Amino acid sequence: MINLDSEINELLTKSPYILEDREKNQILTGILKIQLENAVENNTHIKNMFSKQGIDISSITKIEEIPQIPVQMFKYFNLSTCDSGNIVKILRSSGTTSDNTSMVPLNKKTVLKQMKSLKQILSDYMGNKRKIFLVIDHEGINNSVSEFSARTAGVRGLSIYAKDTYYLLKEENGKLTLNEPVIKEVIEKYSGKDVYAFGFTYIIWSVFYKQIIEKDISFAFNDILLFHSGGWKKLKEEKVSKEFFSEALSSVFNTDTGNILDFYGMAEQTGIIFVDCECGNKHVPNISQVIVRNPYSLQPCAVGEIGMIEILSILSDSYYSQAILTEDLGYVVGIDDCPCGRKGTYFRFSSRIEKAEIRGCGDTFKE
């Protein structure tokens, strides 16, 4: 019998990209099957889905057979798999195709594992040393409340290695502007020092970058690592490519374009981010797997074939995180053989789906 906590904690202590794909899939499949039993036992919607689709958990032999749910389900159903009294936070993410928001219930155990996972992933890119943390957002985004947004989760998650935190934007009358006194202090105290930064891509571009250029402000952070994510759909509308974005921001911070790190992630799978490696590929850590599926058949795509990105995770026991089908398109670049040396599946994001059709279980949740 697998001891879930022991198995997961062991994975969280390893180097995050050390497992080859086949070995990882065997380990994850065993853990996921036990988590599915718990989900069916504790959530009526999941139970209905499994029952109506005739899913027999004991017959699952491959990770590709773990039942996935469309991410839209978080907007319409309570997917909690633990006692409501144990929920300590509700994470909400904005809708992309509707006004509804996803609701992700978190208990202490899940939050702790998410933090460990994020720390493990970040350490692979920036080491274990604490550094000055620059947040390209306003301080109010990190208020302590029982419900918080994906932006809040991003700031809190990336602050794991923060020695001290500075917010480079401020909010005035509902609008974001440069926090010039703080920016001046950061430049005076930390130019040339080892710092890291985080912000949402669209906010960095539409607010921070444009105002920095307008006011002719520049930084001298040769070794900065800027992690950014989200909002590429809007940037695409402004015809800003990933390469152009990296060149523009590297110029502002006076650093190499390789230090501008785009990552892919989703609020429903907090604790896992897929950061670009030096080869431009996004790698899947030990505690997760990515499967790219054909949008019509839902069968796994071949390497290089564009399809819907599915993210599997063993981090949560407070909601159904085991297999979530996203509204994003991407393709697997390769397995175990990226020149950067990281093992496992590596992939690239292509685009968002304008109107994703709910397939598989979308109509089987209701009683």
What pLDDT score was predicted for residue 126?
Answer: 93
pLDDT at 355: 62
State both tokens at 57. 């958990």
Rg (alpha carbons) of the chain, rounded to whole number? 20
Looking at residue 146, what is its pLDDT?
59
Pairing of strands 225-229, 260-264: parallel
- Provide the pLDDT for residue 237: 84
- Give the pLDDT confidence score for residue 358 in this predicted structure: 42
At residue 361, the pLDDT reads: 45
Question: In this structure, which amino acid lies at residue 65?
Answer: E
Chain mean position to CA 302: 23
d(CA 277, CA 281): 5
334 residue type, one letter: G
Structure tokens at 205: 């571009």
Residue partners of 224: CB distance under 8 A and separation at least 6: 134, 195, 196, 197, 253, 255, 259
The pLDDT of residue 204: 96
Are β-strands 147-149 and 87-93 bridged in parallel, bridged antiparallel, or unpaired? parallel
Question: How far apart are alpha carbons 287 and 294 in whole angstroms?
Answer: 24
Q: Residue 174: which region, alpha, beta or left (left: phi > 0; alpha: psi -120 to 50)? A: left
* DSSP-derived secondary structure letter, 249: H
Residue 295 DSSP symbol: T
Residues 6+ apart with CB under 8 A from 121: 16, 272, 273, 275, 285
Task: Tell me the C-alpha to C-alpha distance, in Å, between residue 61 and each of 56, 57, 237, 292, 359.
Answer: 11, 9, 43, 19, 22
Q: Which amino acid is at 34?
A: I
Which mean pLDDT values do the consecutive 10-residue runs of the chain (367 residues) have? 87 96 97 96 96 96 97 93 92 65 92 94 94 95 72 88 96 93 97 95 95 96 94 84 95 96 93 95 97 97 98 96 96 98 96 61 48
70: β partners? 325
d(CA 289, CA 63): 9
